[in-house]
Every structure is written in C-alpha cells, then in structure tokens.
Amino acid sequence: MAGSTFQTNPFALSKLLEDCHHGVLQLPDFQRSWVWDEDRIKSLIASISRAFPVGALMTLNSGGPVNFKPRPVEGAPHAAKNAVPQSLLLDGQQRMTSLYQVTLRGKVVETVTPKKKKVKRWFYIDIRKALDPSADREEAIVGVPEDRVVRKDFGREAILDLSSPKQEYALLMYPVTQVFDWDKWQDGFDEHWIGDQNKSVRDEFRAFKKQVLDNFKMYHVPVIALDQSTSKEAVCVVFEKVNTGGKALDAFELVTAMYAAEGHELRKDWYGDDATTGRHSRFVETLRPAGQDSGIVAAVSNTDFLQAVSLFHTRDRRRVAEAAGKQGKELPAVTGNRQALLNLPLEEYKRYETKVERGFVQAAKFLHMLHIYRIFDLP
C-alpha cells in the first residue's frame, strides 16, 4: 500500500535554533551561502514579533540512502561541525540562518545593505514603536553598527548610542539577541527605571514582553520532514521545486544536489577548498598575462563546463542509437540544454571532466596564438 513519505509538524522556533547551534539540524553542504540583506532580516524579525507566518521549512531525516555531506548553519560554533545531524534543512536556510545569527549566536551579524555594501549590524526593537498600533512594525526594528553607535554628518555626530546596557535601558531599545532570555536584561532595566515615578516605564516593558517577546518564545514553525527512506531522485525533485525563493536555482546547483546524493562534491570540483585548487581557479590562471587579473578562459562558467560534458555524453548516446539502426527523429539530440544537464549521469561527468578541461585549455592556447598573430600581423 502506498504511504506518505513525509510528516508535517509544528516545531518551536527556539528549539529549531538550538538544534542549529548544536549541529542537530544542519544544511546539505552543496547549498549556496547565506545571502540575506539587512532589510530582509528586519522584515523577518518584524514578522516573528507579530506572530505572522514566515513559511514552512523542509527537512530530510538523516540515515537514509541520500548521502548529502552536511555542514552547520553559518555562524554555528566549531563543535557543531563534529555533531552528527539528525536532519538536513532542504528549504528555509536563509530564514533559519538569519534568525540564528540575530538571536542565538550573540555576535555581530555580517550582512549587506540592499545595495550590496558589506556591513556589520546589531539589531534592536524600539519598544515604544513596537507598542504603537499605528506604527509600521518594520520601522521598530533598528540595525546599528558594530560599535552600536549610529552617526551622521560623516561620523561627527552620534544620533543613537546603544554602546552600553544603560543606554539601551534609557532609550527603551531592546536587543534582539535577548528575545529568548530576557530576565537579566529586565533586571537591569528595572534597576535603571527604579522608583514609583518610573512605574509607567516599567509597565511599558511588561506590555512589550507580553505583546512582542512572548511571540518569539511561543512561535512555532511548520516543518515538512521527508522520511529517511526518500529516494535521491525524489529529494532532488523536491529540492528544485522548493528552492526558488529570492533567486532561481541554476542547472549547476541542481546537478550539484543530484551528485551530492551520490556522495560527490561537484562544488568542490569547481571552486576547490583549502586543500585543493578548483577548476574555476585553474581556468582563471590559464595563460594569464602579466599584470592581468585573469586569463583567456576565466569567463567559462560552471554551467558552460557542464554543457560541454553533456555534448560529449549526448553525442555518444546518438552514436549508440545510430549503430542500433535508428534514424531521423528516433535519434537522440546532441545537446547541452537544461534538461540534458539534469539527466547527466555522474559516471559520464567523471568520464569526460578531464578531457573537457583539457579542451578549454587547448582553446585558450589557440586564442592566445591567434592574438599574437594579429598583433604582429604574422601570415
């Protein structure tokens, strides 16, 4: 009898983030890096603070036939790398990493502005704005620099100084790093605003705790958990369907996911790691002129490379079909289109990868010589 290969259950956000911290919940290593900008992070914090839904997560239970290499979420402690994950996060990396970075990690967040300028930010909730029903909640979420001082006039004038807990208390700015553990902060706040004359301010914080902080503590996220018996084909199809938010996956990322299910690190082939030089770096260095940043074939992309491999593979399939007596429309096309890349077997990639790399290097040498002939007007 056919049965469901997944379960859907709500999990406490705090528990999911703790699992990220301890390496119980990790990512497939082929996943692209965390890329959210500070405005999207602010929007996410605002949504959680109002108990608004932010979408479901999808995980794959570990221990099955799909052999994805795991890696902890960005910013997790070194000990998380040595943990054996119970599940891998297939969809929701950007949301979970953002929330982990701003809440549980306790360190400044390295992110980017919407214009892609690299910045370091601490995030705060403006208590009074958060309690104002007429205010936009996103405006109550504030990002400040690493020193916690916002300046204007080319840095000469400080307009918001949160460089000490006393400043936070005085300005009623609550650090997002404390949304799951507010007792110590509240103790300092009460001491700062001690006395009957400040009772209304203390009451404001208690209202903030009930209306805003409790939403973080009580927040649950729906999690679709794929059973460990899920086939690699099904996992890769699901991965393609769900990972389209923000930036569509390209063919290289999808092929990377498929090969990862068989234990092969395609991304390492292309980008390398601390111990090996990747193919992309080798192309950049191929016939690189002195004083130049890159060589002739530096612009060859990972998808270009896969397409070249696919042309060899599909050519062989066509030759086999011809030898079997097939003709016309019966013959498979020689192609490097998207579907052909998704159908490229790992063994065929391994069979042709070295030959294709040599081909690009030979093409670079030919183009280099052609350039020399043109410069010196040689016959």
Give per-residue pLDDT as tens, 47-99. 999 999 999 999 999 888 777 888 999 999 999 999 999 999 988 999 999 99
- Could you tell me the pLDDT band of residue 246, with boundaries at 50, 70 and 90? very low
- Could you tell me the pLDDT band of residue 1, with boundaries at 50, 70 and 90? very low
Percent of the chain with pLDDT over 70: 93
For the chain, the domains span: 6-226, 250-376
Q: Does the pLDDT of residue 126 top 90, yes or no?
A: yes
Q: Does the pLDDT of residue 2 top 60, yes or no?
A: no
The burial class, CB within 10 Å (0-12 / 13-18 / 19+), for 38 is: buried
Q: Which of 35-49, 146-160, 173-187 has the lowest mean pLDDT?
A: 146-160
Q: Which of 38-42, 154-158, 336-340 has the lowest mean pLDDT?
A: 154-158
pLDDT at residue 160 in the model: 95
Are 69 and 28 in contact by the 8 Å Cβ rule? The answer is yes
The burial class, CB within 10 Å (0-12 / 13-18 / 19+), for 164 is: exposed
> Which of 126, 161, 129 is closest to 145 using CA atoms?
161
Compute the average pLDDT of residues 17-23: 97
Are 90 and 14 in contact by the 8 Å Cβ rule? The answer is no
- Could you tell me the pLDDT band of residue 4, with boundaries at 50, 70 and 90? low
- Could you tell me the pLDDT band of residue 288, with boundaries at 50, 70 and 90? confident
Cβ neighbors of 115 (< 8 A, separation 6 or more) are none
pLDDT at residue 64 in the model: 81
Compute the average pLDDT of residues 281-292: 87
Cβ neighbors of 245 (< 8 A, separation 6 or more) are 94
Cβ neighbors of 379 (< 8 A, separation 6 or more) are none
Compute the average pLDDT of residues 311-333: 94
Radius of gyration of the chain, Cα coordinates, nearest whole angstrom: 27
Are 336 and 311 in contact by the 8 Å Cβ rule? The answer is yes
Structure tokens at 166: 């006393």
- Could you tell me the pLDDT band of residue 149, with boundaries at 50, 70 and 90? very high
190-to-168, 173, 194 alpha-carbon distances in Å? 12, 14, 6
Compute the average pLDDT of residues 206-229: 94
Structure tokens at 301: 């992309």
pLDDT at residue 185 in the model: 97
Alpha carbon 99 to chain centroid distance?
12
What does the DSSP assignment read for 232-268?
Answer: HHHHHHHHHHHTTSSS---HHHHHHHHHHTTT--HHH
Structure tokens at 58: 């999808």
Q: Which of 187-196, 237-246, 290-299 has the lowest mean pLDDT?
A: 237-246
pLDDT at residue 68 in the model: 80
40-to-17, 44, 95, 143, 191 alpha-carbon distances in Å? 18, 6, 9, 12, 34
Structure tokens at 222: 């729906």
- Could you tell me the pLDDT band of residue 344, with boundaries at 50, 70 and 90? very high
Amino acid making up residue 163: S
Cβ neighbors of 192 (< 8 A, separation 6 or more) are 166, 169, 170
pLDDT at residue 57 in the model: 93
pLDDT at residue 36 in the model: 87
Phi, psi dihedral angles at 326 (to 5 degrees):
-80, 150
Are 225 and 87 in contact by the 8 Å Cβ rule? The answer is yes
Compute the average pLDDT of residues 191-210: 97
- Measured CA to CA, the distance from residue 177 to residue 148 in angstroms comes to 13
Strands 220-226 and 6-12: antiparallel
Phi, psi dihedral angles at 239 (to 5 degrees):
-60, -40
* Strand (E) or helix (H) holding 142: strand 141-144
Are 350 and 306 in contact by the 8 Å Cβ rule? The answer is no
Mean pLDDT of the chain: 89
